[in-house]
Amino acid sequence: MDRLLTRARLPAAALAAVVGLGLALPANAGDPAKGKGVFAAQCSMCHSNTKGGPTILGPNLYGVVGRKAGSLPGYAYSSGMKAAGFVWTTDQLKIYLPAPRNTVPGTKMSFAGLKNPTQLDDLVAFLDTLK
């Protein structure tokens, strides 16, 4: 613990290196720059993320944090997603993304789930910048 606290007082460049190793990241923080890479690798084949971006297989995710599930006008959601009834918060995304079909029964999002907690935090931090 002492060693971690000492690391936290290191200058920014050194701290960035430590964070890069994943040693000093507080739980749930998340690095949006890294999350952008996770999105590119795991989500961009089905989702656009720019304002007014196109439907690919899934709905555009620009502004998803704060949006009611299943509510983007013009997108043909599954009845499961339309019935979800919650608003996408960062916490809700962290529940959904590791296990989409368990969280929203009947969803047509064919994605097994993002299990890596660091990638999940980074990705959700990135989604939270899309506004």
- Stretch of residues binding ligand HEC (CB under 6 A), selected from 1-9, 14-22, 24-32, 109-117: 109-117
Nearest to 112 by CA among 92, 91, 97, 123: 97
Binding flag, residue 77, ligand HEC (CB under 6 A): yes
* CB burial of residue 114 (10 Å; 0-12, 13-18, 19+): buried
Q: Does 126 bind ligand HEC (CB under 6 A)?
A: no
> Applying CB under 6 A, which of residues 80, 103, 121, 125 lies at the interface with ligand HEC?
80
Query: Binder to ligand HEC among 33, 57, 83, 87 (CB under 6 A)?
Result: 57
Q: What whole-number distance in Å separates Cα of residue 17 and Cα of residue 21?
A: 7
Using the rule CB under 6 A, is 99 a contact of ligand HEC? Answer: no
Is 88 in contact with 64 (CB distance < 8 Å)?
A: yes
Query: Applying CB under 6 A, which of residues 70, 103, 121, 122 lies at the interface with ligand HEC?
Result: 70
CA-CA distance, 28 to 68, in Å (whole number)? 22
- Cβ–Cβ under 8 Å, residues 129 and 120: no
**Residue numbers at the binding site for ligand HEC (CB under 6 A):** 42-43, 45-47, 57-59, 61, 64, 67, 69-70, 72, 77-78, 80-81, 88, 97, 107-111, 114, 123
